[in-house]
Amino acid sequence: MNKTITNLLTSAIVLALIAPPAFSAEGSILIKNGTILTVTKGVMVKGDILVINGVIKQIGENIPAPEGIKVIDASGKYVIPGLIDSHTHIALAGTNEGSEAITPEADVGEVVNADDVSILTALSGGVTMVHTMHGSSNPIGGPNVVLKMKWGKPSEELIVHEALRTLKFALGENVKQSSRTITVGGPPPRYPQTRMGTNAIIRREMLKARVYMEEWDRYNKLKASKTPPKNLLPPRKDLRMEVLSDLLRGKIVARCHDYQATEALEFMGLAKEFGFKVQALEHTWEAYKIADELAAAKVGISVFADSWAYKMEAAEGIAYDAGYCAKKGVLVSINSDSGERIRRLFNEAGKSMKYGGLTENEALSLITINPAIQLGVEKIVGSLEVGKQGDIAIFNEHPMSAYTRCEMTIIEGDIYFDRAEYLKDREEADKKAQAPKKGGRP
């Protein structure tokens, strides 16, 4: 090989190393001149964010726009991580399986409804990810699913496979009320009638799962031995016990609907007894009473900002619940539990500044990095950092302001909600609807 060819090859290699990476029009965007609230890395007053192929590649000032990339001017606006709702029930074609008290085989991930307009509602409030859950009519419900709010995409593309597997439990009034649908003179109720009964029925199923798991472990050990028995047969497979065994093995974590402190401690005691992880208690209006215990056990809470006293078991709820627990070291997130309140999750988080004295960043963390940690996706979303997915929301004012609104919501570098375009399309649709039809009267 002569010297000229060698020099040309060397130059080509150098150019390949220093040249910007190739990108597709989809999943790539440059946001310029916004006030960037990274949540974990401070605030940049006039900064840019470059997203390439769905991933944040650069955050800084005066980032040059790669040729052909879409550029958004965020001057005078606030750029924040996409919001995460850690407890909702949207985008499902079924929520509660009310036929029996114990239904861990009823997986909501099998009935994701990508056509639910609540997805668009969520996007209008800057929400990019949700933990959508089985309902709370069962002491042991079913597995939940984490979704990206990719409006217009098929359901398979919404599912976040990196998230923790979670199983819904429920305590309190909801599981007791489930038996009220049984008619007088009909079959005996299949649901617990007391709080102690709820605790007992969950313990009963955990004991069954432990025995089931031991049977399978014993079988697998014999099967893998050098001289397995000739008449070795596998145990009978039970779909319910399969899920609960995964819980006991640490492959699934528990999320438990709860209101009162006493039953929360009982459930945490069950978790300790059987060795499974309680990732978060849901709603848990009396969490402030056991904040030290929650922090010590590393059990998070996913709560409302206010709206207490709407039923008896919420009578001792207080608006300071989220803020107080956060200051005591509990991992706290604010949830909507609603297809409507989800559009103003930022307003809900902002209440913790008044009721609890949290800072702006601490309040914003309740709907960004904290729920990301609770869902096991903090390495890919929840804050604006290089290497994380480009899930971003742009607000016209600070997101904790009572007067703010979401202007644009971006998921993995693609715009899924643009308020200006949405209003423009709606105005055009209204004009078409009001225009006289051809051939009709003027």
CATH for 359: 3.20.20.140
- Angstrom distance (rounded) from CA 328 to CA 243: 33
CB atoms within 10 A of CB 285: 24
Query: How many domains, the chain?
Result: 1
pLDDT recorded at residue 187: 54
Any domain includes 34: no
pLDDT recorded at residue 103: 96
Question: Is a pLDDT exceeding 50 seen at residue 98?
Answer: yes
Name the residue with tokens 């009963």: 204
DSSP per residue over 280-345, as a string?
EEEE-TTGGGGHHHHHHHT-EEEE-SS---SSGGGTT--TTHHHHHHHTT--EEE---SSSGGGGH
pLDDT recorded at residue 435: 82
Any domain includes 63: no
pLDDT recorded at residue 8: 39
The strand ranges marked E within 259-360 are: 278-283, 300-303, 332-334
Q: What is the mean pLDDT of residues 99-113?
A: 95
Q: What is the mean pLDDT of the chain?
A: 92
* List of residues 6+ apart from 222 with CB closer than 8 A: 228, 229, 232
Any domain includes 226: yes
Distances (CA, A) of 288 to 30, 111, 374: 43, 35, 19
Name the residue with tokens 């984490």: 146
145 HSE (CA, 13 A, CB side) = 25
Any domain includes 69: no
- Angstrom distance (rounded) from CA 304 to CA 319: 9
Cβ pair 132, 145 in contact under 8 A:
yes
Question: Is a pLDDT exceeding 60 seen at residue 62?
Answer: yes
pLDDT in tens, 329-378: 999 999 999 999 999 999 999 999 999 999 999 999 999 999 999 999 99
* List of residues 6+ apart from 55 with CB closer than 8 A: 387, 388, 389, 390, 412, 413
Helix (H) or strand (E) run with residue 374 in it: helix 369-374
Q: What is the mean pLDDT of residues 83-111?
A: 95
3-class SS at 104? coil
| Helix extents (H) in 129-230 | 173-177, 195-223
Any domain includes 18: no
Q: What is the mean pLDDT of residues 310-318?
A: 94
Q: How is residue 103 written in tokens?
A: 């239904």
368 HSE (CA, 13 A, CB side) = 26
Question: Is a pLDDT exceeding 60 seen at residue 322?
Answer: yes
Cβ pair 43, 35 in contact under 8 A:
yes
Question: Is a pLDDT exceeding 70 seen at residue 3?
Answer: no
- Angstrom distance (rounded) from CA 272 to CA 277: 8
pTM: 0.91
Question: Is a pLDDT exceeding 90 seen at residue 316?
Answer: yes
Where in the sequence is the domain holding 204, given as residue range(s)?
Answer: 82-374
Cβ pair 332, 325 in contact under 8 A:
yes
- Angstrom distance (rounded) from CA 111 to CA 158: 12
pLDDT recorded at residue 204: 97
What band does 441 get if pLDDT is binned at 50, 70 and 90? Answer: low
Question: Is a pLDDT exceeding 70 seen at residue 226?
Answer: yes
- Angstrom distance (rounded) from CA 13 to CA 232: 61
Any domain includes 13: no
Name the residue with tokens 């990019």: 128
The one-letter amino acid at 380: I
Question: Is a pLDDT exceeding 80 seen at residue 230?
Answer: yes
Q: What's the full length of the chain, in residues?
A: 442
Any domain includes 325: yes
- Angstrom distance (rounded) from CA 169 to CA 167: 7
Question: Is a pLDDT exceeding 90 seen at residue 177?
Answer: no
Any domain includes 294: yes
Q: What is the mean pLDDT of residues 189-206?
A: 91
pLDDT in tens, 243-279: 999 999 999 999 999 999 999 999 999 999 999 999 9
